[in-house]
Structure 1
Amino acid sequence: MVKIARRKYKIQQETIRHLFMKKKYRWLKFIPLIFGFLLSACDGNNYSFKLREDDYAGAHNKFKTHIVDDSFVGDGQPAMPPKEIFSLVYYPAEDGNMAAFISTSPTDKTKKYPAIIWLTGGYGGIGNDDFFWSDRPANNDQSASAFRRDGLVLMIPSFRGENANPGRYEMFYGELRDIESARQYLAKLPYVDSNRIYLAGHSTGGTRALLASEYTKGFRAIFSLGGIPDLRLRLNYAPIPVAVPFDQNDPREFELRSPRTFLKSIKSPTFYFEGEYAYWEEFDEVKEITSNKGIPLYIYRIENGDHFNIIRPLTNLIAEKILNDREEKVNIEFNENDFLKLQYNLPLPN
């Protein structure tokens, strides 16, 4: 189980509160006021990070990432799936055609069906084996099996530089444009309801989902399981299995890859979930900001959950919410009964 260290500023605040208990240090009560005033004067807020006011899509399109490392190796050519479960397709994107699995088209093509894009975790793409159509353990089912059901179209895409795709791996940057290309591909299928396309992802896929919620307005709702708040924090926390491809000396490279930087760009309902044993405490501050500013990002810390055992019960719950989301405007929400049901179905952690 992962434990996330508290931010340094939180430790400093605890130290200040401890000192304040001593009479001779009561003057320290003015420090937060002074500090808050200085932050407000400099940044317009007193958050622990820079909250950008500009639109993420505009900032993203103006900035050109500087890729300095090309050592990333994708998963290779995807395996050919069983035809009764998936088709291997190639959707057009900025750098060329990208591989994806898409669930078998429904028998009745006269109807329009909701669709969901699943962003897989890890690095490399959508694999080159039977991962997405073989049985997975209940406490770590990353196969999106919950979305393989009647009445719902599932797409599992890969992106630039992954698998055997053209382009260069950019780590949470150009891939966002590929996500939008995948959405447009789905929207053009004659049996897909273009107004009911959803996005969900886990881990690195969950981070991409959060960034996509800021980049594009085309998804009806977005679900992130275990995404991160800030890329620099993640890299400082522990090593990752691939080289960082971009210039780490440029702070803009991190800003444009960190979901909490552009919270104000979120327009579609976006839901974030993480198990309590892997939860980033930074999301507490994000939750406060989004609540105060009316940003449609809803954050849930799952009791007794870790980074993996929440996936299967949550994706089953999300699939049910999508199938029942039939009104003109999105009507998805999560209530106490949902989480009681989730707890009942939660497998033991890894």
Structure 2
Amino acid sequence: MRISKLSLLAAVLFSVSACGDDTPEVIAIPDTGHQVTVSKSSLRDARSEFSTQMIQTSFTDSGNIETPPDDIYKLIHYPTKLGDMAAYVTPAPKDGKRHPAVIWVHGGYGGLSDSDYFWEPQDRDNDQSGSAFRKAGLVEMIPSFRGEDKNPGKYEMFYGEVEDIEAAFDWLAQQPYVDPQRIYLAGHSTGGTRVLLTSEYSSKFRAYFSLGAVPDLKARVEGGQMMVPVPFEKTDQEYRLRSPATFITSIQKPTWYFEGGNDYWSAFDNIAQVAKKHKVPFSVKKIPNGDHFTIIAPVTEMIAQKILQDTGEECNITFSDADIARIEDEL
């Protein structure tokens, strides 16, 4: 189930205030009166002291996973602590070399069921397939998560899924044709939100690329109709542990947020200020002429080329003003 342009929530303006070292840094949402306090603990530590409570099912998918063309993807199952889960992975290159790899976390809700768009041609102004990575010659994995595609567990809406992403990393890193030091995480929309939360929860990936994430889940839920029901008890702590703004200082590895100017959450300007203050490796790239969907193809193509060039011991990827201008000129 992919996200349509009509379902996109208009951005809610955030602001950040900080008044001294002992005063919590707060991200406020004027339209709702809600505010997010930036946590002084890491997301992993906060989750270790909490157990989420699922109260309903958000969706029931068909479990009808399409069989991809054999030369594009293989359907595999990767192990997690809940059991094996489905994923698409590009075929092994069989050249005796180790290659950089990308895990692509797609947007929308539901897993891989009834989704042949990962390999079928897509309109460039809304290409959610993540195909730019495999077309560039990178190893690519597209996982599904708990509660999807007849996988074990229940869908948790930005909670347990980050553990599944870690498990997908562990499986991919063990493949003999993958360079375990050059595995990257990228995703769009709901997938982009999962990417940001994973960057706050785990430092396993070399770098993280989030397209079109939301900064705060409570603002999203209260601000407009959701495509699926919220499956958890709507308490403040349940929301906080699913909201990237809360744990922005947990990020340890290079992380980027991209969004088109037409759908940009202004909160990310303020989040970036907090990240800069705490020397967190988080950067925001706003693409003025784009929207939530038109940026996907050119941004993922740019990321793929940056990954191919990232061959040093440490990640040396940067995105210059000129890089963003080239994408803006294309849109």
Scaled by the length of structure 2, what TM-score is found?
Answer: 0.91
Quote the residue 2:33 is aligned against. none
Runs of at least 5 residues in structure 1 that lack an aligned partner in the other structure: 11-34
Quote the residue 1:72 is aligned against. 59
Corresponding position: 1:87 with 2:74: yes
Give how far 1:345 is off: 2.7
Q: In structure 2, which of residues 293, 297, 300 is the aligned counterpart of residue 308 of structure 1?
A: 293
CA deviation digits over 1:76-111, x for unaligned, max 9? 231111001000000001211100000111030x21
Give how far 1:292 is off: 1.8
Corresponding position: 1:172 with 2:158: yes
CA deviation digits over 1:146-187, x for unaligned, max 9? 011354100000000012211101000000100000000000
Larger radius of gyration: 1
User: SS where residue 185 of structure 2 aligns?
Assistant: strand
Deviates more, 1:125-134 or 1:153-162: 125-134
Paired AA for residue 106 in structure 1? P
Change (3 A) 1:314 1:63: same
Quote the residue 2:10 is aligned against. 3
Q: Is the 8 A contact 1:43 1:50 kept in 2?
A: no
Deviates more, 1:216-225 or 1:280-289: 280-289
Q: Distance in 2 between matches of 1:278 and 1:238?
A: 14
CA deviation digits over 1:295-345, x for unaligned, max 9? 111001111110000000000000000000000010000002211221233
Q: Is the 8 A contact 2:285 2:324 kept in 1?
A: no
Quote the residue 1:62 is aligned against. 49
Q: Distance in 1 between matches of 2:237 and 2:184?
A: 29
Matches within 5 A, 1:130-141: 130-141=116-127
Deviates more, 1:43-52 or 1:135-144: 43-52
Q: Distance in 1 between matches of 2:278 and 2:62?
A: 41
Quote the residue 2:272 is aligned against. 287
Q: Distance in 2 between matches of 1:41 and 1:92?
A: 43
Q: Distance in 2 between matches of 1:274 and 1:102?
A: 27
CA deviation digits over 1:267-308, x for unaligned, max 9? 010000000110011111101111122111100111111000
Of Structure 1 and Structure 2, the greater helix share is in: 1
Q: Distance in 2 between matches of 1:128 and 1:252?
A: 34
Quote the residue 2:32 is aligned against. none
User: SS where residue 37 of structure 2 aligns?
Assistant: coil
User: SS where residue 197 of structure 2 aligns?
Assistant: helix
Question: How big is the alpha-carbon RMSD for the aligned residues of Structure 1 and Structure 2?
Answer: 1.8
Corresponding position: 1:106 with 2:93: yes
Change (3 A) 1:72 1:41: same
| Identity rate, percent | 46
Q: Is the 8 A contact 1:159 1:165 kept in 2?
A: yes
Scaled by the length of structure 1, what TM-score is found?
Answer: 0.87
User: SS where residue 65 of structure 1 aligns?
Assistant: coil
Paired AA for residue 308 in structure 1? F
Runs of at least 5 residues in structure 2 that lack an aligned partner in the other structure: 29-35
Q: Distance in 1 between matches of 2:283 and 2:315?
A: 14
User: SS where residue 277 of structure 1 aligns?
Assistant: helix
Matches within 5 A, 1:15-54: 43-45=23-25, 47-48=27-28, 49-54=36-41
Change (3 A) 1:180 1:5: closer
Quote the residue 1:213 is aligned against. 199
Q: In structure 1, which of residues 143, 149, 159 is the aligned counterpart of residue 135 of structure 2?
A: 149
Q: Is the 8 A contact 2:256 2:283 kept in 1?
A: yes
Q: In structure 2, which of residues 215, 220, 224 is the aligned counterpart of residue 238 of structure 1?
A: 224
The count of corresponding residues between Structure 1 and Structure 2 is 317
Q: Distance in 2 between matches of 1:60 and 1:300?
A: 29
Q: Is the 8 A contact 1:146 1:316 kept in 2?
A: yes
